[in-house]
Homo-oligomer: A and B are copies of this chain.
Amino acid sequence: MVGSLRRMLIGQALPSARMTHERLGKIQALAVLSSDALSSVAYATEEILLVLVLAAGGGALGLSWPIAIAIGVLLLVVAISYYQTVHAYPTGGGAYTVSKENLGTLPSLVAGAALLTDYILTVAVSISAGVAAITSAFPALEPVRVEIALAAIAIITLVNLRGLRESGRVFAMPTYFFVGTMYLLIGLGLARWLAGGLISVPPPTPVEGAVVHNLTLFLILRAFASGCTAMTGVEAISNGVTVFKHPEADNAGKTLLWMAGILISMFLGITFLVHQVGITPSETETVVSQLGRHVFGVGPLYYALQVATALILLLAANTSYSDFPRLAMWMARDRFLPRQLANLGDRLVYGNGIVVLGVIAGLLVIVFGAQTHALIPLYAVGVFISFTLNQAGMVRHWLKLRTPGWRHSAVINGAGAVATAIVLVVVAATKFTHGAWFILLLIPTLVVIFKAIHHHYQQVADQLALTGRWPVMMHHHTTIVPIADLHRGVIKAVDYGQALGGQLHVVTVEIDPEATAHLLARWAEVFPNLPLEVLPSPYRSVTEPLLEYIDQFVQQEGDYVTVLVPEFVPAKWWHHLLHNESAWALKLALLYNRRDWRGRFRIITNVPFYLSR
């Protein structure tokens, strides 16, 4: 039943031969790989304003424009820095790979922890922001925002478990739809602004009792840090160089620069217009939605803008569903995560990673009530850790290789590393009390867990290695059949024991002397030539006397002792409650009772007896 439900939801298993990689042209690749980065335009401006609005007086909101320009410059630096990564690592240069190769294990684990956290947050943040775009247009849906977000996560998870064949054409639509409506919004807004027709909305009346801060440098830095969420997803193209058509690195590099250009222009355009109109953030409507209403009026264009925003945010969440399982798979292959994460499932996807991602993202959405603003402080720290490690790794890369032009490249990556490191400190400091502390605790914790897992796998490998003392080959073989009664199942087990060869001992534990006498009499009738040994049990335990009996055969290394445990396989689940409790107790005791380490040579065999009714 579980199996057929699974088939219905996820589909039939796919053969390995169907594993193909679609190669994408630049236009399609831009759409597929940039949705995460471009979609952040939907909330980045708002995050800046949400900090500035805390300052006394409405004038602070004007700072959004210089802050956005600073972020734009930073974005350009990072994009150029990644442009070099693309050429240096044409097989995909994520922060984990680059730091592993250039900086060593510990930095790579930090990068891995930061990236995994980040992918999870990308899902939670993008879905929450997408739901906000929907509830801005349809305020009636506001009370069920968490439910909508969870449903969206569930659908994306299922679709990815089925195995979403990356199709450039299908993915290109929402991305270009979003870019198109955004440029229309910005173009129309700028035209009206130039024509003087863009009327400012009245400044909001200050909320009674709201805590008003002074406009300190700290607050400005915090606004900058919040706006840096615009940079999330910039690294996606450098991870996906292999999906480009030949020449991969060239195409990827050009696409990366195009993406940066589109992102910067959209972000600056939106921030500029929002500033000109004088929009302030609201609890119930996003800033972009307010701008859209103001420029387009409530009509088809406005709704198109909201739909496009929601779609690209869903698409952005979806990118994590390929990034997270892929990184988890690499880390599992390196033995830093449980190896189950490296299993390619029925549908040619790393299903375990997809499920882990969906479940944790869903929990985050529940805990934070699908509020984008509440999740943002957790978000940017991981992004900038991976940026910094990636760029620093690249500097090390150039220093090692010294290929022609290495000095120039090292300077560019060095500038990127320094810039992102500074921003990392700013982000961590200004958002520390708002949730960044959690990520700063979580990442070292994850690193410790990765190391513990790796240590364990290493120890297992050492214990299993075919080096040193060769396992002793044994050919003494004793079989023990513990029985409580004489029935068809027991006869099966005894017959099997005879088929195994070696010495055969059938034993019973005496709990009730009367029952034992009766059993002995019946036994003598059925197996006249095979003695039934009786073990006394003054304390009425079945397991203890058997363990002692079995251990007396495991005296020297040259012995195998097989214990045949007759076991019923009931026809209905509730029948389990009525059977097998002694069989299970004995099996557990045999597996986990390690007295004197002689247990190594006790073998446990289930002889199943199938009940049909």
Contact = CB atoms under 8 A, between A and B. Distances in A.
Interface of A: 13-17, 338-340, 343-346, 453, 456-457, 459-461, 463-466, 471, 473-475, 477, 486-489, 491-492, 495-496, 498-502, 511, 526, 537-541, 560, 562, 568-569, 575, 577-579, 581, 591-592, 594, 597, 599-600, 602-613
12 contacts: A13-B541, A15-B538, A16-B540, A456-B578, A459-B611, A465-B487, A465-B488, A501-B501, A600-B609, A603-B605, A603-B607, A604-B605
B488 A500 contact: no
A611 B457 contact: no
Which 6 A-B residue pairs are closest in the complex by CB-CB distance? A464-B487, A15-B538, A13-B539, A605-B605, A459-B613, A501-B501
Contacts of A526: 466
A500 B504 CA distance: 13
B492 A339 contact: no
Contacts of A600: 608-610
A460 B568 contact: yes
Given A344-B511, A474-B495, A602-B608, 20 more contacts: A16-B511, A16-B537, A16-B540, A338-B578, A343-B540, A453-B578, A457-B578, A460-B611, A463-B613, A464-B487, A471-B488, A471-B492, A473-B495, A474-B499, A475-B498, A477-B499, A496-B603, A569-B592, A597-B610, A600-B610
Contacts of A17: 538
Nearest to A477: B499
Contacts of A605: 562, 603-606
Nearest to A488: B464
Given A466-B487, A499-B474, A538-B16, A610 B581 contact: no
A347 to B, nearest CB: 10
B344 A540 contact: yes
A15 B500 CA distance: 37
A551 to B, nearest CB: 15
Contacts of A579: 460
Nearest to A594: B610
Given A491-B471, A495-B473, A604-B608, A15 B539 contact: yes
Nearest to A492: B471
Contacts of A495: 471, 473-474
A114 to B, nearest CB: 23
Contacts of A541: 13, 346
Contacts of A492: 471
A612 B500 contact: no
Contacts of A538: 15-17
Nearest to A17: B538
A603 B473 CA distance: 23
Contact of A466 (B461, B475, B477, B491): B491
A564 to B, nearest CB: 8
Contacts of A15: 538-539
A512 to B, nearest CB: 9
A335 to B, nearest CB: 9
Contacts of A345: 540
A338 B477 CA distance: 37
A203 B269 CA distance: 86
Q: In this complex, which of A496, A511, A603 has the most chain B Cβ atoms within 10 angstroms of its Cβ?
A: A603
Contact of A578 (B339, B474, B477, B560): B339
Contacts of A457: 578
A15 B459 CA distance: 44
B466 A488 contact: yes
Contact of A603 (B344, B466, B591, B608): B608
A605 B463 CA distance: 22
A567 B581 CA distance: 22
B346 A539 contact: yes
Contact of A501 (B500, B511, B540, B591): B500
A611 to B, nearest CB: 6
Contact of A496 (B465, B488, B560): B560
A439 to B, nearest CB: 24
Contacts of A610: 594, 597, 599-600
A475 B343 CA distance: 39
Contacts of A568: 460
Contacts of A539: 13-16, 346
